Amino acid sequence: MLALAEPVPEGQSVQTLIRIARDSNITILAGLFEKDAEDRLYKACVCVNGGGLVASFRKLHPFINPHLTPGDRYVVFDIHGWKCGILVCYDNNVIENVRASVLLGAQIIFMPHVTMCTPSTRPGAGFVDPALWHNRKEDPTSLRLEFSGMKGRAWLMKWLPARAYDNGIYVVFSNAIGMDDDQLKNGCSMIIDPFGDILTECAELGDDVSTALCTPAKLTEAGGYRYLQARRPELYRDIIGKEHRAEQNVSWLKPNQRP
């Protein structure tokens, strides 16, 4: 991994992205493995334009690999007058991260993922048979049923629109589609507005591009804006900041029922 990782922004990948952004007159967000001067590894996501690096974010919760160092800060930056944030994959399942980014000013949060179609304790979760992917042209229906069900999109719909709705923000969610090594991923990248409505979604069984119009008026029209104004931090400031203890969630169980 150290051989693959690069410093940010002087690494080859970031410099190449900057050239692409300059040539195409666009802003680009992309993920990579970052290493620092002490060879610590991070899951990073960068934002660049033709002028160089705009922002760099290190995943806060790299929970799978013990060799990855967690990031220690949120980022809020400007893209064409919009205040933007980045949270990578599992960061978005910890709801405090989204709210913290919004309290720091984020109006759009980019949420790059590689998720879904993996085993879990939740009902309906599991792998999707790679054979369905390889046979997608002859039988797209069977694959779409798996992708759309509780292994994939139906699970996403339990929580992702709520992140946008509760906080009154735009969410730009991206996810891989196809074979990721030996695992199949289902895509369904989408843009969600502050009302929690899906504005657009990638629907192809393969690479796809989707665009949507973001309008500032929705930021203050949505319920999430009012919820933020109604907050009373004095009630829960000390509670939210407390360290979580697993036994708090199982104290009502009988001794022989506890994990």
Q: Range of 56's domain? A: 1-73
Let me know whether 174 and 95 are in one domain: yes
Let me know whether 207 and 113 are in one domain: yes
DSSP character at residue 69 = P
DSSP H helical ranges for the chain: 12-24, 95-103, 130-134, 140-148, 153-156, 160-167, 217-221, 223-229, 233-240
Q: Cα–Cα distances in Å, from 252 out to 168, 247, 248, 259? A: 35, 9, 9, 12
32-85 confidence digits (pLDDT tens) = 999 999 999 999 999 999 999 999 999 999 977 889 999 999 999 999 999 999
Let me know whether 36 and 110 are in one domain: no
Question: Which pTM value belongs to this model?
Answer: 0.93
Peptide bond into 161 cis (omega under 30): no
Count of structural domains within the chain:
2
Q: Which two tokens stand for residue 214?
A: 């973001």
d(CA 107, CA 105): 6
In a domain, 208, yes or no: yes
pLDDT of residue 253: 52
pLDDT of residue 219: 98
E strand segments, the chain: 28-35, 41-49, 52-58, 76-79, 82-86, 108-113, 170-175, 177-180, 183-186, 190-192, 198-201
End position of a domain, from candidates 30, 53, 73: 73
Q: Which two tokens stand for residue 132?
A: 């369905």
In a domain, 123, yes or no: yes
Other beta carbons within 10 Å of 203: 12
Residue 255 pLDDT greater than 70, yes or no: no
In a domain, 47, yes or no: yes
Percent pLDDT > 90 in the chain is 91
Let me know whether 55 and 85 are in one domain: no
DSSP character at residue 200 = E
Residue 259 pLDDT greater than 70, yes or no: no
In a domain, 186, yes or no: yes
Let me know whether 8 and 83 are in one domain: no
In a domain, 87, yes or no: yes
Cα torsion 222, 225, 227, 230: sign: negative
If you compute the radius of gyration of the chain from its CA atoms, what whole number of angstroms results? Answer: 20
199-230 confidence digits (pLDDT tens) = 999 999 999 999 999 999 999 999 999 999 99
pLDDT of residue 65: 81
Let me know whether 43 and 89 are in one domain: no
pLDDT of residue 66: 87
**Could you tell me if 188 and 202 are in contact, meaning their C-beta atoms sit under 8 angstroms apart?**
yes
- SS3 label, residue 17: helix
In a domain, 13, yes or no: yes
In a domain, 61, yes or no: yes
Let me know whether 137 and 65 are in one domain: no
Q: Which two tokens stand for residue 149?
A: 């069900």
| 130-145: b (≥16 Cβ within 10 Å) or e | eebbeebeeeeeebbe
Let me know whether 206 and 168 are in one domain: yes
